[in-house]
Amino acid sequence: MGNAPETYRTIAEAASVSFTVQGSKFIGHVAPAESVDEAEAFVERAREEYDDATHNVPAYRVRADGSTLGSGITREYSNDDGEPSGSAGKPVLNVLQGEELENVVCVVTRYYGGTNLGTGGLVRAYSQAIKEAIDAAGGIEERPHERTRVTVAYDDSGTVRAVLESDAVPFDATYEREVTFDCRVPTTDAEALYDRLRSATSGRAWIE
């Protein structure tokens, strides 16, 4: 892991704000997203909910596989969605970069009000929409996490649950022929936790 930071900045919760500039209504939406798929799903939901809008401008920054900034695999994306090139998507992404936020997705919805704002006006409006939405969501420090699935027989499920709960690891348990725990584990603690689970179940826990 080298000198990689143990925490990164993200937002605490989803939020939306709206305001009007010379007749055009802007709505800034932000949400946490732990994967590219999650970010793109949020963008798609916003486009469906506001399908009558003139523009829905998306941007996101998502850590890939618990990576850190500078490792070359943090995914960044933005799109102008029909606005003049460089006037919408890039300014929104620039706000995320400037705030050093990761695992965040945003969409700015615009309803055109009949007055052209010019490139400078668009940059200011789109940037303002995301800045205000981020302020509303609140920033937090988060530790890199990884998704893990632990599968065991029923006889071992109570033991696994006890280990996860003692470490305050959030999980969803599915009881079928076997018991599956879908967990969100801090990357720096993962190997030690997996060792405890294997030890507690005498190696019977299947971890993937």
74 shares a domain with 116: yes
Q: What is the pLDDT of residue 67?
A: 44
Q: What is the CATH number of the domain that holds 151?
A: 3.30.70.240
Question: What's the whole-model pTM score?
Answer: 0.70
Radius of gyration of the chain (CA): 21
pLDDT along the chain (208 residues), means of 10: 60 93 96 91 96 97 60 80 95 93 94 93 96 91 78 90 87 90 82 89 88
Phi–psi pair at 148, nearest 5 degrees: -135, 145
Residues whose CB falls within 8 Å of the CB of residue 105, separated by 6 or more in sequence, listed in order: 30, 31, 32, 33, 38, 39, 42, 43, 58, 59, 60, 62
Q: What is the CATH number of the domain that holds 103?
A: 3.30.230.30
Does residue 54 sit within a domain?
Answer: yes
Q: In total, how many domains does the chain have?
A: 2
> Which among 111, 142, 173 is the end of a domain?
142
Q: What is the pLDDT of residue 93?
A: 95
Q: What is the pLDDT of residue 42?
A: 96
Phi–psi pair at 182, nearest 5 degrees: -95, 115
Q: Which amino acid is at 196?
A: R
